[in-house]
Structure 1
């Protein structure tokens, strides 16, 4: 199998009589700065550019991607849900929001409803059936760790998945994890890697960051599974070895206070930059990019660093190995010693670091184009619509058999 191809893939090329999608609705929880939100925006803009009527339905709150979507003439519809869909005592406002979603789908009559992440999928499944949407697709963006020890979440996920025509995973590791669930069949699952816009490959002026030390950049929300505490330990180790570096953390979240206190205890030079939209300029300033995550799907932060040609050290979790094997330094998760060694290797051997950066940039340009990502989605939508035709012959177990 060629490098970068999907490991799990049903038929996605329909015959000459295939039905193109006229309208697609994308359902997501919010439009913040996360990787999934970025991919939804890229997909929506790409579909719109191809003449597919597209809207983005937001369950909870908007965010920075809303303005660019509207500028691209992609409507953004706020549904007014409240958090707590997986709680036994659901907020009453969600009943009205659910009816609002069903009413919108009935009025706009999309060919495809594509839901992203858990809350959207469990909401989309009954809504699509009530509204008569022909095809329901769900995006799998991460491993199933969020379901562990949460029986209600697991049960909702199982029911919603059985009601869904097709699943699209963004990494082979995510697809393989999904297949371990008894209710996910291989012929209802396709791998489509994330995409990068052309702007990710354009040179950027470096951001201003005053330091004489090598700069290690980490772009990730400050939440526990991103593994920042292990990166801080690694930076402290480097300092004790006589190789102090400045750590720049781009992102925000609930771990900020604890990480700041830990950095002070360890004596590490850390710059908490907060949520940033100028990641390209930060990458241009970085000597090394590090991602110490304990779990990942397909990391947008790693992809963007690859497009910028930066040397990267990252934990081999989820789809990160698929991106960086032979093009970066991979280390085990929760291992500060290995993380420190990886950073040291890149900082002390600039020629090797530059070569890894060149390989990463070339591979990402060939395999991670947003245009390719959008086109693969269009093919899947067309194939599923073709299978929904009354006269289509559907082998047992194929997608499109939803009643």
Structure 2
């Protein structure tokens, strides 16, 4: 339960006195509110914290987006900070300095006991702001493996400095935690693993989408980016066609590789439908015979989680946190291997009873382990532990 008014943390100057065991106010910070997995998780966490009586503000650096609708009417306050990402250098720099000052002033005025930042730009910005505003506890989230940062030495140096100012790093999978410890040198004692969560609606049976095809339907939900491995999935579908196991492939998501992938699909002569970003993913999952995620690297995949919740059989590459999600109720294959993907999909299409049983097992496991309530319980427990540690210090 939240603290009573006379038990709330108070300030002397810009310093907080001893907070209670449960935070009264939390600020969550992210770059934007698009349809990505991290954006879904921050919206879910904000709503659930607020429903538990913990006042929650959602700080948006650059712009809002479709996920705003998921917190509208919940009591969560959305704050536009006004950072600029694509303006000319000088004008953008001036705007960003003003936005940073706006962030510090907001934190000083509202006095949250916890500031939690999601994704790279947010926790790099949140770290110095939290120190200047004397926020008691700063939490940084890691949502994916850090492979993309290995050749960016300046970014790594900035990240390590920010991590030094951070009280806890939350990884959404053990594989991500291991990557943070191994590549960033963060001690294990500073890392906590909290898997992503799903709202009750993700476990409800959605009406199946109408897709004009007589072939088995394979669905992939992922941004059209190179690291998602779509080109190997298209090659796998071509292999299936050569074996007489033709299928219709539905790709949900947008991204920079869309044009190249459409040209590849046309060249291979496969039935690939590019549907773009959608908010009715559950209807296509309900229609799918098999769900595939061919990523080359991954954190804790929301797409895999949603497929499990929908009770669909999954074929996915054995990267990042995906093996932690499938846990024996899915088919894991090597990354960047079209033949392995084709074999996995073919095995499920030819063994329907086995595929259905995998779907039932996955759904039961997801319901028991991946609810938004379980995720929020873990976050609140972490917040309390960090506040107690801060008080003791």
With the length of structure 1 as denominator, give the TM-score of the two structures: 0.91
Q: Following superposition of structure 1 onto structure 2, how do residues 345-364 of structure 1 map, counting pairs within 5 Å?
A: 345-364=347-366
Partner of 1:66: 68
SS at match of 1:334: coil
**Are residues 362 and 156 of structure 1, via their aligned partners in 2, closer, same or farther at CA, if it must alter by over 3 Å?**
same
Partner of 1:234: 236
Partner of 1:197: 199
Task: Pick the aligned partner of 2:137 from 113, 129, 135.
Answer: 135
* Residues 1:259 and 2:261 aligned together: yes
* Residues 1:45 and 2:47 aligned together: yes
Q: Following superposition of structure 1 onto structure 2, how do residues 154-173 of structure 1 map, counting pairs within 5 Å?
A: 154-173=156-175
Distance 1:366 1:94 in 2: 43
> Is the 1:162–1:183 contact (alpha carbons within 8 Å) kept by the matching residues of 2?
no
**Are residues 172 and 69 of structure 1, via their aligned partners in 2, closer, same or farther at CA, if it must alter by over 3 Å?**
same
**Are residues 18 and 75 of structure 1, via their aligned partners in 2, closer, same or farther at CA, if it must alter by over 3 Å?**
closer
Write the deviation string for residues 337-361 of structure 1: whole angstroms up to 9, x where unpaired: 0000000001111011001111100
Shift in Å, 1:91: 3.0
Write the deviation string for residues 174-224 of structure 1: whole angstroms up to 9, x where unpaired: 000111135411111110110011111111110111100000000001111
Partner of 1:245: 247
Shift in Å, 1:92: 2.6
Partner of 2:148: 146
Shift in Å, 1:90: 6.6
Shift in Å, 1:71: 1.6
SS at match of 1:80: coil
Shift in Å, 1:148: 1.1
> Is the 1:18–1:383 contact (alpha carbons within 8 Å) kept by the matching residues of 2?
no
Write the deviation string for residues 261-288 of structure 1: whole angstroms up to 9, x where unpaired: 0000000101111111111111011000
Distance 1:211 1:283 in 2: 15
Distance 2:184 2:233 in 1: 36
> Is the 1:161–1:183 contact (alpha carbons within 8 Å) kept by the matching residues of 2?
no
Partner of 1:296: 298
**Are residues 18 and 181 of structure 1, via their aligned partners in 2, closer, same or farther at CA, if it must alter by over 3 Å?**
farther
Partner of 1:401: none
Partner of 1:400: none
* Residues 1:386 and 2:382 aligned together: no
Distance 2:251 2:313 in 1: 17
| Higher RCO by CA contacts (8 Å cutoff, separation 6 or greater) | 1
Query: RMSD over aligned Cα, in angstroms?
Result: 1.6
Task: Pick the aligned partner of 2:377 from 362, 375, 378.
Answer: 375
* Residues 1:223 and 2:211 aligned together: no
Q: What is the number of equivalent residue pairs in this alignment? A: 374
Partner of 1:91: 93
SS at match of 2:93: coil
Shift in Å, 1:54: 0.1
Ranges in structure 1 where 5+ consecutive residues have no aligned partner = 1-16, 395-403
SS at match of 1:70: coil
Distance 2:90 2:151 in 1: 15
Distance 1:183 1:350 in 2: 46
SS at match of 2:72: helix
Shift in Å, 1:387: 1.2
Shift in Å, 1:70: 2.2
Partner of 2:10: none
Shift in Å, 1:120: 0.4
Partner of 2:107: 105
More helix by proportion, 1 or 2?
2
Distance 1:346 1:49 in 2: 41
> Is the 1:311–1:353 contact (alpha carbons within 8 Å) kept by the matching residues of 2?
yes
**Are residues 82 and 189 of structure 1, via their aligned partners in 2, closer, same or farther at CA, if it must alter by over 3 Å?**
same
Distance 1:67 1:206 in 2: 23
Partner of 1:116: 118
Distance 2:340 2:90 in 1: 43
